Amino acid sequence: MAVKATVDKFGITFTDAYHKVVRLTYESTDQKSYTYVPAGELQYDEDENPIPPVAVPPTEVYVKKNHCYFEVATYASEQTREDHAEPIYRSSYNFEPTMTEDDLLAQAYAHLKSQSGYEDAVDC
């Protein structure tokens, strides 16, 4: 799985540049979130003095956060990749995966194609 897209690098236009995800990392963490009770209206006693509000501690909630980080190696062409040549350059991206889908690699390529410069990318 890879995509082909034209890139300009080093003053050269590579019309069949081959972009391959070479590293994909998935991370799932539980992040603490706080919910605060909104302050109520100020209360007054019978002498019209303000009554100090009662402090209500926030509620702690843990929220699951999923992230994928991936690296793309860009080669001059598919043939240079097959010949084990060095990539022209490498770039890194990250996204929040949809956990209803199983294929994180397909999601990484979908994210890549949504980036600037990859609007006309073709799967190969």
The mean pLDDT value for 22-37 works out to: 94
Structure tokens of 111? 């994210």
19 pLDDT band (50/70/90 cuts)? Answer: very high
pLDDT given at position 42: 86
Q: Give residue 64's pLDDT.
A: 92
**Residues 43-85: pLDDT tens digits?**
899 999 999 888 889 999 999 999 999 999 999 999 999 999 9
How far from 80 is each of 5, 7, 49, 69, 88, CA to CA, in Å? 15, 15, 80, 25, 10
Angstrom distance (rounded) from CA 72 to CA 79 = 17
**Residue 120's closest CA among 6, 16, 2?**
6
Contacts of 1 (CB under 8 A, 6+ apart): 20, 21, 105, 106, 109, 123
pLDDT in the model for residue 54: 83
- Say what the pLDDT of residue 34 is: 93
